[in-house]
Structure 1
Amino acid sequence: MDLHHKLAVGSSGSSRDELDGVERLLLAELAEIAGPVERIALVDCGSVLLADELARLFPTAQLVAYDDSYVDASLYDAEVAEREWVDRYMRVAALDSVRFPTELFTGVSVLVLRLPKSLDYLDEFAAAAASGLEPDALVLGAERTKYMTPTQNEVLKRYFGSVTASLGRFKSRALRATEPLGSESLPGAATSAVSSFPRSKHLPELGLTVVAHGGVFAGTKLDIGSRLLVDNLEHLLEQAPHARDFVDAGCGSGVLSARIAQLRESAQVTGVDVSAAAVLSTRETAQANGFADRITAVQDDALRGLPTASADVIVCNPPFHAGTSLDTDVAQRMFREAGRVLRPGGQLWTVYNSPLPYRNAMTRSVGRTVVVGSNRKFTVTVSIKPS
């Protein structure tokens, strides 16, 4: 699916004809700002429509965008390229070891974000923002009221001296955070706005240390699906004795990548994930376990950037949610791309929620698919590409 097709069918960063309720509330709040605004940062804001309005409302301000998702960033940039205000636009991205780079906060008067579902994501972001923003900067986050919790206020209060909530409008609510506690130039500020992320945890049953940034699926834990796949890895490796080039599709924290590297000394593993946080986590998990020379991680959309016929085995614990909604499209695209990336005779090892209709999709995209393990909730399958 190319970018234009994805825009047509919709996504978190998809093209729309009008602002949604969250964006309308953010604009109503921002319209009350008095004084010059030189630089506005937008974090995970999705639709470019909000930036359109901000470019009009603040005609001299530079707009800086950051998205954790590779897909959302690509869609956003493609739309911005057609805007007349493109010369005032800058994209920043996570670096090799820094999730939220300083360029996202330097000189920013207003930072706008769509509040994340994950409190860990919010925690890591808030710590970085509080350390990098100017003392008089405003952080304005909003979301649909039904997805918000009082804990979001508590997280922000760890890093900002003042956190207040707006009245509910358009079925949405906003949080305003000011007085960043990590700003050295703020009189009387605490200097404790230090993130606890990435976090690490040793899993003694595997002999591995898992490292995870905020918002990565399952964090430093081994989720039920991944555990079932891990339990079957030794058997699966026996079925592919000559496999050397592995791909971990949707690598998350990198625990599957690390386990493969641990069990097979000749393995070279490429972790792929749409999320910058996941890619950083996989790299750091590899480093923590001494596998940095055998595990690489890249940010991509469903394996599209990998060469055709380049992998012996692809291992996959596919996502089945997009935000708060059930969404199996990413998994379906992973299966299609897996069929392309696998060499003849290559194997796709997948764990998935048993009720989902994935087996037929994997058979169509890759080849004959058989069940090799299951429990009450999840199923592990092997799909074999014809030689």
Structure 2
Amino acid sequence: MTTDALLGGHDLTLHRFPLEQKNRSLQAWDAADEYLINYVLEHHNQAQRILVLNDNFGALTCALKVMSVSERHITNVNDSYVSHQACEYNLANNQINDSAVTYLDSLSEYPHNIDLILIKIPKNAGFLAHQLALLSSLTSETKVIASGKVKEIHSSTLKSFNHFLSEPTTSLAVKKARLIFSKTTAKPVASKFPVSWPLEKTEFTLTNHANVFSRDSLDIGARFFMNYLPQGKKPFKVIDLGCGNGVIGLISLDKMPNAQVTFVDESAMAVASAKENITLNLPDALERCHFVQNDCLSDFTADSADLVLCNPPFHQAQAITDHIAWQMFVQAKQVLKKGGELRIIGNRHLDYQDKLNRLFGNCKVIGNNKKFTVLSSMLRG
């Protein structure tokens, strides 16, 4: 999806990633981006070293670079592989020099030599709290400006800012978006992440970083899916696609002692959690594992996997959409060997069965309850 945006007094052509997604109602920037950029242009346009957190598709980074009257350094921190891809693409597409842009993932230490900190408020409140905890150790009196839709900024959001930073204030709402103003204190407050908890009905313990789905307990979809995972001694090449904390791949390694499992997620924190969980629970199986942060199965070798296991998301950031699930299914078909299987779990109302029937020519229900259905499609020769 391509959108033309006026940000910071400059026209930008911005692309939402993945480029192949067809939902024309989704754009690569929103009113919260616009509000934040306009405020910076008016009040902080001389800031030279800016830390930007959670810039979904690069709108903030692009605007900050074209607004600058001199060379400005941007440190772009994101948990999302796709977001970094989008930012790099949009900078190049708008012919913006990216030589003074540094990309860090969500597990990296923040730089201390910063003039201004900008935050796009993430959907995950725990992830925001973790980021604020990291900011609490930075140099005192560095200004922090966060932006989000009014409906996303709750009293708990302000409490979180107040807990980790100096007393926050808020702006008036503009186009259903709002800003939060605060400052760093140089008084570090520890993050509670990563968290650990025992995996029910097993001897395993799971560790989750802050931005991993269902970080405090096993999510109900994964719990149901665990009842329908393959087992046996065949030397299958398995992909845990959208692996999250890696629980599905972990159980698969335990049930399939000769399998090789590749854990794939676009979240850096998810891939790190998966690796830590295998290291903690099945250290002898590490040599049978690969851990990849990626945009689904983009650039994976065709005809290379026997089995793809997947619990697909139905949202991207705050947007509800099925295009990621469809991308996962299409790419799984490309990666599977003849006779290979895609096995997924999904909410029953999402009608993945119809999608898989159209794509593979077959789809079998192998388990369901009132909320979820487990489906299997085979790649026939």
Question: Taking structure 1 as reference, are residues 11 and 206 closer, same or farther at Cα in structure 2, changes over 3 Å only?
Answer: farther
2:134 is aligned to 128
The superposition leaves residues 313-358 of structure 1 with CA deviations (integer Å, 9 ceiling, x where unpaired) of 1110000122333211111111111111111111111111112121
Instruction: Give me the whole-angstrom Cα distance separating, in 2, the residues matched to 1:3 and 1:56.
Output: 21
Q: Does 1:195 align with 2:195?
A: no
Shift, 1:271, TM fit? 0.8
1:232 is aligned to 228
> Alignment partner for residue 112 of structure 1, among 114, 118, 140?
118
- Give the conservation status (yes or no) of the 8 Å contact 1:353–1:379: yes
Shift, 1:213, TM fit? 1.2
- Give the conservation status (yes or no) of the 8 Å contact 1:199–1:211: yes
Instruction: Give me the whole-angstrom Cα distance separating, in 1, the residues matched to 2:21 and 2:108.
Output: 28
2:75 is aligned to 64
1:168 is aligned to 173
**What's the secondary structure of 1:81's corresponding residue?**
helix
1:256 is aligned to 248
The range that moved more, 304-313 or 160-169, is 160-169
Q: Does 1:101 align with 2:116?
A: no
**What's the secondary structure of 1:41's corresponding residue?**
strand
1:219 is aligned to 215
Instruction: Give me the whole-angstrom Cα distance separating, in 2, the residues matched to 1:330 and 1:268.
Output: 25
Shift, 1:278, TM fit? 1.1
Instruction: Give me the whole-angstrom Cα distance separating, in 2, the residues matched to 1:344 and 1:57.
Output: 52
- Give the conservation status (yes or no) of the 8 Å contact 2:58–2:86: no
**What's the secondary structure of 1:217's corresponding residue?**
coil
| Number of residue pairs aligned between Structure 1 and Structure 2 | 364
- Give the conservation status (yes or no) of the 8 Å contact 1:100–1:125: no
The superposition leaves residues 255-292 of structure 1 with CA deviations (integer Å, 9 ceiling, x where unpaired) of 11111112222121111111112111111111221243
- Give the conservation status (yes or no) of the 8 Å contact 1:269–1:295: yes
- TM-score w.r.t. the length of structure 2 is 0.87
**What's the secondary structure of 2:309's corresponding residue?**
strand
> Alignment partner for residue 302 of structure 1, among 290, 296, 304?
296
Question: Taking structure 1 as reference, are residues 79 and 53 closer, same or farther at Cα in structure 2, changes over 3 Å only?
Answer: closer
2:52 is aligned to 42
**What's the secondary structure of 2:132's corresponding residue?**
helix
Q: Does 1:344 align with 2:338?
A: yes
Instruction: Give me the whole-angstrom Cα distance separating, in 2, the residues matched to 1:319 and 1:112.
Output: 27
Question: Taking structure 1 as reference, are residues 64 and 346 closer, same or farther at Cα in structure 2, changes over 3 Å only?
Answer: same
- TM-score w.r.t. the length of structure 1 is 0.86
Instruction: Give me the whole-angstrom Cα distance separating, in 1, the residues matched to 2:44 and 2:324.
Output: 43
Please list, as runs of the form range in 1=range in 2, the aligned pairs for 1:356-375 lying within 5 A after superposition: 356-375=350-369
The superposition leaves residues 146-205 of structure 1 with CA deviations (integer Å, 9 ceiling, x where unpaired) of 12211111112222133222222221111122133xx3xxxxx3x4x2221111111141
1:292 is aligned to 286
Question: Taking structure 1 as reference, are residues 30 and 3 closer, same or farther at Cα in structure 2, changes over 3 Å only?
Answer: closer
Q: Does 1:24 align with 2:34?
A: yes
1:321 is aligned to 315
Q: Does 1:76 align with 2:82?
A: no
- Gaps of at least 5 residues in structure 2 are 2-15
Q: How much identity, in percent, do the aligned residues show?
A: 27
1:156 is aligned to 161
Instruction: Give me the whole-angstrom Cα distance separating, in 1, the residues matched to 2:146 and 2:43.
Output: 15
